């Protein structure tokens, strides 16, 4: 048999691969070597809106999801898409300066929030801003992280890959012949949470996601192991972003509220439908996570457990951790972030071999303004250490056998809870290590295992790890650790209606003699399962584990590690389970610490520590519970 050698031109081969539309000239001029460069005119870019049909039926007709598109007019090849699906485009704004979408009189989008379109469209990308179901101009009902929300964003990816239906404002069918179908989703907070949810569907065409300060389980965002973060949070978040008439989604909202276990704190089917972690096995996209290590809005367990799940399934991933709270790395380390993001998208959306996939997997801010790259995360050499509790002591050698510590709830705020740990304070128990003889690196998710007896059917329990020692730290209780300056810098091209200039920012630091590292809460009656509660009997001992938020820190030699136990926590949670008396069997209780470095030794007697004002006290912080995601 004679085999014919078929020689294809670069243009013909690109057509087969979907990079060039038939009839278009070959050679993407926005690619030079291993990077994309800004060659297309942003001011004259194509700006259009399509309404994509979502497969979920909200009210007898398929929902239509508004997608605003900005793409290079002069491009002679198909281009990939950077997409941000958000509920905030017209209600609340995006970014540090709360930018909104803006439209001309004819409905054409003339200004997009953030810099993504300004920076990337000239470099041969399209940017698509999607109004999630039930928000802004989309129909349907916003179900707060649920199937309709995720399906609305996924539908746009399907349409970009020729698998869906969309229409223009005048009813004509719209096609996406201008794109390769390769999509990267990005977004902070709620927007990044949607990216996690869409990736968990395994949708083809989604090549990468960049979730920033994002949720991976909505239960863990609105509930803390059986304890409510605040009352009526489901209704609050829905109402906060709802773009429909007030009564359009009333029936749906009533069902969600009923299913969320408001009175029990249980993990119900409502929450299972909003937990993306079990579906990490479906993720095809690479994942680039960024998170503030002191984020008190979207807790760090959200990235920590998601990262672990992705690792178990071999998903390509990268991580940035920085010292501030619920912030975007664009405002924490601007130039380096934009450069890294550019190379990430170039590699995963344009297929450029720039080596970013072979670079260290983790980038961490280890102290204010101090950054380092590490091969992986958690830190190399970290292992779980079991640190026993004693009579006010913590660490190896703690003499806890036969020691019972008892305390009665006083609903203490955080500063009162952790200050002056050597003193006897009603409403808390304090356990202190000896001063560290060498640096101690904590990297991962700690947890506290307690053997307890309670005089009531349940109790709300809290636990905090505290660093007792003087240091200069990012003051994340003040503006999340970052403040705006009077200067600005520009990150991309501009049009008459949309620039890419943003106020510069600076970290806020404070020098203090102690700081809370990580926190955790649990309802004692959920000790068997989060799916149901089991009332406690007053004469029986129970075992309970309180997971703490994921953290990464290095404590210097000479500092003391403290574990502080409290009960009801008005600064962070809402509960009617107050005034309980709890006994802790110290000999059968312990702290599990993912760590490397110094051995944590228990002192013979607790060290004497006197502290000054805490961070929240200095800033007169208001209560935390009810907050928007953005």
Q: What are the pLDDT digits (tens) for 5-34?
A: 333 333 333 333 444 444 444 569 999 999
All CATH 2.60.120.260 domain ranges of the chain, comma separated, are 383-618
* Sign of the C-alpha dihedral computed for residues 35, 196, 326 and 252 taken in this order: positive
Average pLDDT over residues 488-500: 97
The candidate with the shortest Cα–Cα distance to 324, out of 469, 463, 483, 442, is 483
Residues of the chain with CATH 3.40.50.1820: 10-374
Q: Which residue from 578, 563, 590, 592 is spatially nearest to 454, judged by alpha carbons? A: 578
Alpha-carbon distance values, 79 to 18, 70, 160, 352 (Å): 10, 11, 11, 13
Q: What is the pLDDT of residue 553?
A: 98
- Is the pLDDT at 273 greater than 50, yes or no? yes
> In CATH, which of 3.40.50.300, 2.60.120.260, 1.20.120.10, 3.40.50.1000 is domain 383-618?
2.60.120.260
DSSP of 448-474: EEEEEEESSS--EEEEEEEEEEEEEEE
Query: Is residue 189 flagged as an active site residue?
Result: yes
Identify whether 422 is a catalytic site residue.
Answer: no
Mean of the per-residue pLDDT values for the chain?
93
- Residue 616 clears pLDDT 80, i.e. is over it: no
Domain 10-374 has CATH 3.40.50.1820: yes
Catalytic residue selected from 138, 152, 189, 533: 189
* 40 close to 125: Cβ distance less than 8 angstroms: no
Q: What is the CB neighbour count within 10 angstroms for residue 278? A: 11
State pLDDT tens for residues 312-348. 999 999 999 999 999 999 999 999 999 999 999 999 9
Catalytic residue flag (residue 326): yes
Average pLDDT value for residue range 576-583: 96
pLDDT score recorded for residue 420? 97
Query: What mean pLDDT do residues 407-427 have?
Result: 97
Query: Which of 158, 191, 220, 295 is the catalytic position?
Result: 295
State the residue for tokens 């007030």: 246
Predicted pLDDT at 3: 33
* Mean of pLDDT values over 480-498: 97
Q: Quick one: what percent of the chain has pLDDT higher than 90?
A: 91
Band the pLDDT of 495: cuts 50, 70, 90.
very high
What average pLDDT does this structure show over 423-450?
98
Q: Tell me which DSSP letter residue 193 carries.
A: H
Q: What average pLDDT does the segment 529-550 reach?
A: 97
From the candidates 30, 326, 347, 527, give the one annotated as an active-site residue.
Answer: 326
pTM recorded for the entire structure = 0.94
Q: What is the pLDDT of residue 342?
A: 98
């Amino acid at each position: 048999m004679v085999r014919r050698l078929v020689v294809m031109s670069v243009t013909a081969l690109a057509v087969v691969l979907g990079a060039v539309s038939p009839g278009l000239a070959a050679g993407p001029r926005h690619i030079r070597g291993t990077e994309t460069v800004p060659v297309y005119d942003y001011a004259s870019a194509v700006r259009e809106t399509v309404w994509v049909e979502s497969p979920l039926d909200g009210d007898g007709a398929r929902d239509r999801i508004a997608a605003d598109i900005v793409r290079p007019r002069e491009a002679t090849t198909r281009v990939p898409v950077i997409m941000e699906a958000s509920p905030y485009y017209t209600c609340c704004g995006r970014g540090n300066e709360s930018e909104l979408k803006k439209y001309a009189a004819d409905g054409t989008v003339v200004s997009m929030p953030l810099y993504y379109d300004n920076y990337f469209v000239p470099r041969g990308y399209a940017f698509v801003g999607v109004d999630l179901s039930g928000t802004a101009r989309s129909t349907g009902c916003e179900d707060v992280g649920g199937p309709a929300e995720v399906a609305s964003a996924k539908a746009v990816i399907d349409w970009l890959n020729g698998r869906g239906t969309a229409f223009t404002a005048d009813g004509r069918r719209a096609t996406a012949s201008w794109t390769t179908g390769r999509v990267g989703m990005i977004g902070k907070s709620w927007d990044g949470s949607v990216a996690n949810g869409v990736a968990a569907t395994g949708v083809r065409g989604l090549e990468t996601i960049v979730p920033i300060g994002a949720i991976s389980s909505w239960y863990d965002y609105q509930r803390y192991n059986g304890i409510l973060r605040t009352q009526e949070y489901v209704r609050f978040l829905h109402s906060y972003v709802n773009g429909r008439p007030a009564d359009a989604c009333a029936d749906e909202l009533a069902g969600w509220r009923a299913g969320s276990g408001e009175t029990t704190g249980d993990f119900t089917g409502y929450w299972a439908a909003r937990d993306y972690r079990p579906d990490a096995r479906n993720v095809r996209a690479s994942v680039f996570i960024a998170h503030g290590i002191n984020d008190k809005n979207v807790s760090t367990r959200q990235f920590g457990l998601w990262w672990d799940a992705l690792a178990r399934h071999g998903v390509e991933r990268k991580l940035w951790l920085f010292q501030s709270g619920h912030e975007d790395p664009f405002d924490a380390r601007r130039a380096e972030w934009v450069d890294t993001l550019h190379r990430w998208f170039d590699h995963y959306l344009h297929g450029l071999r720039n080596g970013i996939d072979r670079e260290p997997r983790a980038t961490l801010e280890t102290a204010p303004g101090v950054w380092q790259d590490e091969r992986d995360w958690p830190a190399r050499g970290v292992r779980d250490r079991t640190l026993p509790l004693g009579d006010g002591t913590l660490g190896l050698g703690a003499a806890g056998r036969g020691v019972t510590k008892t305390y009665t709830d006083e609903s203490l705020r955080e500063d009162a809870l952790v200050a002056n740990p050597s003193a006897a304070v009603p409403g808390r128990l304090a356990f202190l290590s000896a001063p560290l003889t060498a640096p101690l690196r904590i990297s991962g998710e700690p947890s506290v295992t307690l053997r307890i007896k309670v005089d009531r059917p349940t109790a709300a329990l809290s636990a905090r790890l505290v660093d007792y020692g003087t240091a200069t730290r990012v003051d994340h209780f003040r503006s999340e650790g970052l403040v705006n300056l009077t200067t600005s810098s520009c990150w991309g091209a501009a049009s008459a209606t949309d620039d890419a200039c943003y106020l510069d920012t600076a970290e806020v630091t404070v020098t203090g003699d102690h700081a809370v590292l990580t926190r955790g809460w649990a309802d004692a009656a959920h000790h068997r399962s989060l799916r149901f509660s089991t009332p406690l009997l007053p004469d029986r001992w129970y075992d309970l584990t309180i997971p703490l938020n994921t953290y990464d820190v290095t404590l210097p030699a000479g500092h003391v590690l403290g574990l502080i136990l409290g009960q009801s926590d008005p600064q962070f949670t809402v509960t009617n389970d107050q005034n309980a008396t709890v006994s802790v069997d110290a000999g059968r209780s312990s702290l599990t610490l993912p760590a490397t470095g110094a051995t944590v030794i228990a002192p013979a007697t607790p060290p004497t520590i006197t502290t000054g004002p805490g961070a929240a006290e200095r800033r007169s912080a208001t209560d935390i519970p009810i907050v928007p995601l953005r």
